Chains A and B, each alone.
Chain A
Amino acid sequence: MNQPRDFVIPGPVFCIGLAVFAAIYLALFLSSESQAAILVYMAAGGMVLLLNNMSELKPRLSEAIKGNERLCNRLAVAVVLALTAAFHADHYTLFLIGTILLYIVVVLGLNVQLGFTGVINFSCASFFGIGGYTSAMLLSKTSLPPLLALPLGGVCAAVVGSILLLPVLRTSGHYAALVTMAFALLFRIFLEVNDALGGPQGVPVRSMSLAGWDFGSDLVIGDLQMSFYVSYVLLGLVLLCLAFSFVRRIERSWIGLSLDAVRVDETASACFGVDVARWKITAFTIGNFLSGVAGALYAMMLAYISPANFTFGDSLIFLSILLLGGVGNSWGVVMATAVVVLVPEKFQVIQEYRYLIYSALVLLMIVFRPHGILPRKTRIYRPGEAA
């Protein structure tokens, strides 16, 4: 099944080259300040993608990536580490990288819900927020080790989500959409009127600390002075790696198969013993848990959270990322998150217009390219297995 291909360049070399290229490109993009330079980089990036799509390189590239999956995963981590090292003193850039990492975790969770199982969730920003407020409250009201706030944030999000389980299970389509949407609005209003949670002004969040390693102050190792965000980026990266491999393993297992079956045809699946309710519960809970964990760390990184961080509009942004990246496609999600977070932050001209631009883009995409930019491939169960 796995036929050897005679590459002009061997697959691993191809992948390493790609990673080096990506790292250099991202480093240039992140380090440039002038709007003109950023525009040039964006145009160049777009051109490269376009050329790749048209040229003969594309099938080879995807073959190389597919054949060297483990290597590619490691290279992706290496790229993030290299960027972190390169920008070790730059607060703002590191904050962006950290945001991207945590957003990816949320979208991966959403992918399990909507992409795999077809469970609609218009309130993932709320679950992200539940994680955030959990860590804010835990760190200020108790003396628990801050690391514990991460899993507890996830658990709280999952538990609150379980209140929605009954209506989510009983309804489908538009009705299910309404349930989660109503929850997103309810949650936002709740945060704004609740004084214990800081009301509309929000609450400060204490920083993470791990066995004496305080994430709130800059890191100094020898002569090297590093931004405190380095710590958050590293922890975020660990979190993302765990989430990514967790979601991958779900996809490549009987659980992933069951989730898919539920999405595609509930009735027919039930006739083959698929327990529809069980898988919807599983997917919904896993997704909310991931959002909650990411939210807990995000809140610590922000140091201050308010209801405005977790609105219905933010849920729509997460959904947009999923749609832009290709529903069900984990790598697509990674790329789309980077684009959606980075472009408006760096290309300041459009910062103000970003919601408008995203919504218009997603709207156009749903109308003209409904399967996303990177459509999902058929499932394989083991890395590198040929289809």
Chain B
Amino acid sequence: MDVGFFAQFVINGLMLGMMYALVAVGFTLFFGVLDVIVFSHGDVVMVGGFTGLSMYFWLERMYPHLSPGPKLLCMALVSMTVIALLGAAVARSVILRLRAAPSLNTLLATMMLGTVLRESIRLFYPDGANPKPFPALLPKWSVEYSGLTLRLDNLILFCIGALLIVSVHLLINRTRLGLAIRAVAQDEETARIMGVNFTLIVLVTFAIGSAVAAFAGLMNGLYYNEINFSMGLLLGAIGFSAAVIGGLGNIYGAILGGFIFAFLQTIGAVALPFASAYKDVFAFAVIIALMAWRPTGLIAEKTSERV
């Protein structure tokens, strides 16, 4: 196998990994503050992609001469804002109401919510049942080197993704807001007593996680040049898997998990050349095996049961 071919797989894997990490960060943030799995997160990613696309069509109509750069910036800003609000609304109307319920109920409720989002796009977005082409707005320069194509648009997406994750990390660890989020994640009661506005912090956390997801949705569209209503289900399952193998509640773990999943898919595609279609089957099978080996993820969540 030649180097270029191999490097191509590495680059694809890194792109996928970044996308998954962006989704997994949301899962792990929400689990951190509320101990819940918000399964609709994958569909929030999808809605993010569609919001961006709608924005693109609106801009096309209103400002046909706008160059791709500002257009994309507008799309990203609008999509991230809308989805941040959507995330906060989800937290307010569903998740916070289910605080006292068993965790299975929350999981089920968010799955149903995900279905509601998915079906709404399918039914109410114009021609939403079919895959939508996503405009290629990033410069198409690429460098070729012995069979390896390094595309500028991919590089830009990867860098912005990394930048987003770093800023979330800085936000959580270096700001007063982040301190409050960490306080709530550590111990809700104590945080409340110390004057942290619990509800507000939860809403803000959901807004942040969802905004990151919105970018993942755009990235997905730009990378594959296509989005469809059902992509959220798989992305949600992958993000959830990534967050779980990395250890729920742990941001580094989520990033690691995202890249591990992408790595597994890539391995699946390379190692099973006769059947690369099985790469997802392989990746999920490994996830199931990992869960059997390490029931609470590679970086174990700290659990204790008081008897």
Contact = CB atoms under 8 A, between A and B. Distances in A.
Query: Is there any pair of Cβ atoms, one from A and one from B, under 8 angstroms apart in the complex?
Result: yes
Contacts, number: 118
B97, B248, B288, B307 — which one has the most chain A CB atoms within 10 A of its CB? B288
A155 to B, nearest CB: 21
B98 A367 contact: yes
A217 interface: no
B226 interface: no
Interface stretch (A98-106, A163-171, A207-215, A335-343): A163-171
B89 interface: no
B115 A170 contact: no
B116 A360 contact: yes
Tell me whether chain B's interface is mostly helix, strand or loop, or mixed: helix
A117 B227 CA distance: 40
A312 B233 contact: yes
A320 B112 contact: yes
B94 interface: yes
A181 B241 CA distance: 10
B152 interface: no
Interface in B88-121: 94, 97-98, 101, 103-105, 107-109, 111-113, 115-116, 119-120
Contacts of B289: 167
A185 B120 contact: no
Given A178-B287, A359-B113, A359-B115, A186 B280 contact: yes
A375 B296 CA distance: 32
Interface residues of B, number: 44
A174, A186, A316, A323 — which one has the most chain B CB atoms within 10 A of its CB? A174
A359 B284 contact: no
B244 A175 contact: yes
A356 B296 CA distance: 33
B20 interface: no
Given A174-B37, A179-B288, A356-B119, A189 B240 contact: no
Contacts of A267: 305, 307
Given A183-B284, A359-B112, A363-B116, A370 B101 contact: yes
Contacts of B119: 353, 355-356, 359
A174 B116 contact: no
Contact of B103 (A166, A173, A312, A316): A173
Contacts of A94: none
B277 interface: yes
Contacts of A384: none
A170 B296 CA distance: 9
B284 A182 contact: yes
B98, B101, B107, B248 — which one has the most chain A CB atoms within 10 A of its CB? B107
Interface string B202-237: 000000000000000000000000000000011001
Interface of A: 120, 164, 166-167, 170-175, 177-179, 181-183, 185-186, 189-190, 193, 267, 312-313, 316, 319-320, 323, 352-353, 355-356, 358-360, 362-363, 366-367, 370
Interface of B: 31, 37, 94, 97-98, 101, 103-105, 107-109, 111-113, 115-116, 119-120, 123, 233-234, 237, 240-241, 244, 248, 275, 277-278, 280-281, 284-285, 287-289, 291-292, 295-297, 305, 307
13 contacts: A167-B292, A171-B296, A174-B31, A178-B240, A179-B291, A313-B115, A356-B116, A356-B120, A362-B112, A366-B105, A366-B108, A366-B109, A367-B94
Given A175-B296, A355-B115, 14 more contacts: A170-B295, A178-B241, A182-B237, A182-B284, A185-B234, A186-B280, A189-B284, A312-B233, A319-B108, A353-B123, A359-B112, A363-B109, A366-B112, A367-B97
